[in-house]
Structure 1
Amino acid sequence: MPRLSFASFTVATVRVAAAGIGVSLLLSGCQGGSTPGSPPSESSPTTASPTSGATGSPSPVGPSATTAPSGVYKPADPKGKAQNVPVPVMPELAKENTKEGLEAFIRYWYAEQNYAIETGDSSGWKRFTAPDCRACNRIQEGIDDSNVHGRWLAGGKITVPVVEPLWTDNAVGQQAKVQVIQERADYFNADGTTGRAFEKATNSAFGLSASFGPDGWTVADLGLIG
């Protein structure tokens, strides 16, 4: 499994999500002129060129703890939606305002995004996402579109091999660089026909900004590192 070398990346060039791309993190959007340690910014559109999808068995996206519903878990396939999807459980470490807590939270946040991809229920993911995070809102639009009128998605699973917090002591807002690998996603209508064009697998690097408050961590902004 190839991993992205963060040594070659800066937070200075990021691109945020555009609408109409489904739940996939194939984000095309904007490049900004922020400096390392500042949140991702937006300006004029550009074309995304993420590293292509990789093979192998990447590390899990989030904590191993889940709340298992009754019945056997069955991932989505061309014949139907996912069934009995385990609900992610936030680890205690992810509630801490520490570098390790930030990393654990980010992995949990992506686990919640995986759950939303499989079920269409993004309530857990949105709970820890700032309402003014434009990239996050566009991902939400994609999740909604993937589940409209009985549509479902097969594949699209996210893994996060690398989370690199850029920790600043005594700061409310923190940043991290995150490697996000996403499987190919195929869409199906309620009658089993193709719902929309498939989206290829991706292997991308993101800049993520999060803040810590009375209720814990919240993702404030997200951008694709150019």
Structure 2
Amino acid sequence: MPRLSFASFTVLIVRVAAAALGVSLLLTGCQGGSPPGKPSSETGPTTASPTSGASGSPSAAGSSATTAPSGVYKPANAKGKAQNVPVPVMPELAKENTKEGLEAFIRYWYAQLSYVDETGDMSSWLPLISRDCRLCIRLQESGEDGYTKGRWLAGGKISVPVVEVQWGAENGGPWAKVQVVQEAINYYNADGTAGRASDEQSNDAFAFFAKFADDKWTVVDLGLLS
């Protein structure tokens, strides 16, 4: 089962001049994360040090809220799937065609992707992507595979410590450089046996391209920054 993670995919390396500018600073911020390979049960929620001066620290308005279902949240483990996972709610700011709106949308998009990891439910995430986004489609295929025939994943929660939105024609906008941290993932078959070897924690920088049309944002391309 392919990992629902960006690190293990063969992805399009974004080669645009604007993406090259400042990416070393973002990657420096990525190095502040927890060491790769440490199980999520030991590290807990993973964070990484944001870049000095970066605009990615989530504000109250830009953070994605969640709706807690009835019952106590229980993360997935070797005995079964996650239960009562809080559902991400799109903030009103993420519906605006502004620099701040794009950042809020990006954080919500990754919150939904993390929810897909925990539940396999893509009903709210799929409407946010364009079918032209090749990596998005790979993520969809991976998520479907991870939960087919009774399978499930444990771990894999995603956090986004840094979002640097590039806005305006002079910056090639709208697009953003995003630091994405994902916890280690364990894979399980329907009978509880290990589905495959665990994946280590990942900490990467991505270029995130979106367009605003019909009063909403849609992801049109996604690529690994190097």
Structures share a fold, TM > 0.5? yes
Q: Which has the higher helix share?
A: 2
For the 8 Å contact 1:153–1:185, the answer to whether it is kept is yes
C-alpha contact (below 8 Å) 1:176/1:209 kept by paired residues: yes
Partner residue, 1:29: 11
**Equivalent pair of 2:164/2:176 in contact (CA under 8 Å):** yes
**Contact conserved, 1:63 with 1:89, CA < 8 A, in 2?**
no
40, 47, 62: which one aligns with 1:58: 47
* Aligned-residue offset at 1:123: 1.5
In the alignment, residue 25 of structure 1 is paired with which amino acid? F
| CA RMSD across the alignment | 2.7
The size of the alignment, in residue pairs, is: 196
- Correspondence for 1:161: 161
Q: What whole-Å deviation, never above 9, does each CA across 1:118-145 have from its counterpart, x for those lacking one?
A: 1101121111111111000001111111
Aligned 8 A contact 2:150 2:190 in 1: yes
Cα distance in structure 1, aligned partners of 2:157 and 2:124: 17
User: Residue type matched to 1:35 in 2?
Assistant: A
With normalisation by structure 2, the TM-score equals 0.78
- Aligned in 2, Cα 1:160/1:73: closer, same or farther, shift over 3 Å? same
Q: Is the 8 A contact 1:63 1:90 kept in 2?
A: no
For 1:115 and 1:99, how far apart are their aligned partners in 2? 25
Q: How big is each residue's C-alpha offset from its partner over 1:70-118, in whole Å with a ceiling of 9 and x where there is no partner?
A: 1111111111100011111100111111111110000000011011111
Structure 1 stretches lacking a partner, 5+ long: 1-19, 39-49
Alpha-carbon spacing, 1:148–1:52, altered in 2? closer, same or farther (3 Å) = farther
Question: What's the CA shift for 1:214?
Answer: 1.1
How much has 1:31 moved relative to structure 2? 3.3
Structure 2: stretches of 5+ with no match in the other structure: 21-29, 36-42, 49-56
- Normalised to the residue count of structure 1, the TM-score between the two structures is 0.78
